[in-house]
Amino acid sequence: MNEYDSNRIYDLAKKINYEKTDSLDEADCYVLNTCHIREKATDKVYHDIGRVKKNFRNKKKPIVIITGCVAQAEGDILLMKDSYIDAVIGPQSSHNFNETIIKIENKKKKLNFTNFDVVEKFDTLNSVKNSCNGISSFLTIQEGCDKFCKFCVVPYTRGAEYSRSLNEIVKECKNLVDNGSVEVTLLGQNVNAYNFNGKRISDLVYELSKINHLKRIRYTTSHPVDFTKDLVIAHSQIDKLMPLIHLPIQSGSNNILEKMNRKHSIEEYFEVINQLLEVNSLIKFSSDFIIGYPGETDRDFEETLKLLKKIKYINSYSYIFSPRPGTPSAKMKIIDNSVSKRRLTRFQKLADEIKLKYKRSLINKQSKVLFENKTKEKNEFFGRDEFNNSVIVKSDRNLIGKIEKVKILKGNQNSLFGEIYTDTENKVHAA
Ligand code: SF4
């Protein structure tokens, strides 16, 4: 979502004649769009500001603005602690970006925009064209979260659930397709909680699937509780909806799910998975895991391993629990770090084995790949299959923006390598 937000901030800034630069030394304004999910996010901000200071030593200081969730969570503290920072803008106040710049240019005092003005934000952004021109684009449809998992900062940094207007999303998607997008990933902290005047994410996906040159639709991140039947059915009816679903579970133990306030049991989670597999047996899953959550016993952890083996996630993102200031779990007793580390190692070893086995199962099979760009190698193209696996092939033809049938020849943890087939299945080139 931060990538989408950064692009939208840039779209806004263009209106007051700012341009993007890759050269840090040239920047008149430095925007650090931050994420508060990972540990030490605030330290990273100070570290990055330090780099800017070094680059601009003996030069005119650039305008420095911190945006995103660290700005929201630490606003005044950042401004107080580092005089080099000119302004902080929270994620739901990003529409104030241009006003902030103009005020700073006019030597106004330090600015803190951290109100939750999400309606006003999207009203402003809807009138600014999304200039993103990637083959695969992000599109925010929903923000915020009302779930209040005990470990998570999102309800405090992004605020309450808010869904954008369906028509505005369709309009922005058409614009992205006009810019060259073939695939769109719908974004939301709780994306399947989307509800705009009773229209759910399934309604939105049906609408988007009517856009002619849009070939692929993905969405992330879903909550099991909001996985309603209509969305399950959409997976059986809409070919453009890709068959990889990111469905965070965090732990395989009901005891821990309850402690986390995840609002569902393992059994209810399986129910969603089974419903999806019933309508489309090809669907695969990825998930997020927190290892060593306060109170996690050996038995709870074994339950998590059992779940991993059962679902065979083709991708899993796992981290040792680390407390986020201001969240209820920050006050809970942390378990011994060496225990958490040992568990994480075991978890990741098993997850890697499952992933590698899955990747190997694709060898000699055909997959449909949407090519996004060229690699640094000559005549080599990078794309993704329907399950978001990275695929690399060689071709004399320009493949960017095309969906091609590819025979997978080999693979490792990160990438698959293949060759393109023509319609008659004649080999064109091998990687
Ligand atoms: S559902 Fe997701 S975004 Fe919402 S509080 Fe839980 S982890 Fe955070």
Confirm or reject: Cβ of 150 under 6 Å from ligand 1: no
Cα 87 to averaged position of ligand 1 atoms, centre (Å): 27
Specify the domain boundaries for CATH 3.40.50 within the chain: 2-115
Phi-psi region of 17 (alpha: psi -120 to 50; beta: other; left: phi over 0): left
Report pLDDT for 423: 57
Report pLDDT for 426: 44
pLDDT category of residue 75 using cuts at 50, 70 and 90: confident
Burial 174-210 (b: 16+ CB within 10 A, else e): bbbbeeebbbbbbbbbbbbbbebeebbbbbbbbebbe
Confirm or reject: Cβ of 247 under 6 Å from ligand 1: no
Confirm or reject: Cβ of 152 under 6 Å from ligand 1: yes
- Give the homologous superfamily in CATH for domain 366-430: Nucleic acid-binding proteins (2.40.50.140)
Given a contact cutoff of 8 angstroms between Cβ atoms, the answer to whether 260 and 225 are in contact is: no
In terms of DSSP bridges, do strands 195-196 and 199-200 run parallel, antiparallel, or are they unpaired? antiparallel
Cα 130 to averaged position of ligand 1 atoms, centre (Å): 27
Does pLDDT of 40 surpass 80? no
Which CATH architecture is the domain 2-115 placed in? 3-Layer(aba) Sandwich (3.40)
Specify the domain boundaries for CATH 2.40.50.140 within the chain: 366-430
Confirm or reject: Cβ of 223 under 6 Å from ligand 1: yes
pTM assigned to the model: 0.89
pLDDT digits (tens, 9 = 90+) for 340-383: 999 999 999 999 999 999 999 999 999 999 999 999 998 999 99
pLDDT digits (tens, 9 = 90+) for 382-410: 999 999 999 999 999 999 999 999 999 99
Phi, psi of 186 (to 5 degrees): -80, 130
Report pLDDT for 118: 86
Cis amide leading into 221 (omega within 30) = yes
Report pLDDT for 422: 67
Taking the C-alpha atoms of residue 249 and residue 347, their distance in angstroms, rounded to an integer, is 14
